[in-house]
Amino acid sequence: MADLLFRSGADIEYAYRVNHEFRPNATIFADLVCHPTERNLESMKYLLNLRQPNQVPDVKDEPLPNFIVSVWMKWSVLHYAARDVVISDMEKEVLGRMVGIILSYPKYSSQIDFQLETTCITPLY
């Protein structure tokens, strides 16, 4: 179904309210990271073109989701990963795998601003 929607021009960057809590509108990429389950991990891999088991991240002609998942707040997908409260050990483990996959893409890891100044402010402050 997702393939059909994407081939028909579905907007992967469409922003919507992730849930009923006070949060800015965000993309499906943020929604998946906010709810770290095995199913959402597989959905995230699909969005990132990791469709085969043990596939190495590769940038193909298919577009990847934007790193900034909330334009209004200027939050990255990592802001969402860091902000949400993860309750169970399983959720912590899945979230760790999600973040590891995200950071394995140069498109995303290159957008993290590591500063070694006295303020040490990064996008995840």
Q: Residue 49 in contact with residue 43, Cβ under 8 Å?
A: no
Pairing of strands 75-76, 16-17: unpaired
Vertex 25 angle, CA 110 and 103, to 5°: 20
pLDDT score of 39: 95
pLDDT score of 98: 93
pLDDT score of 118: 45
- Whether the model clears a pTM of 0.85, i.e. scores above it, the answer is no
Half-sphere exposure of 119 (CA within 13 A, CB side): 7
Which of helix, strand or coil describes residue 16?
A: strand
Residues 6+ apart with CB under 8 A from 70: 15, 24, 25, 26, 27, 30, 79, 80
* Average confidence (pLDDT) per 10 residues, the chain, 125 residues: 64 65 77 91 88 64 80 85 79 92 86 54 48
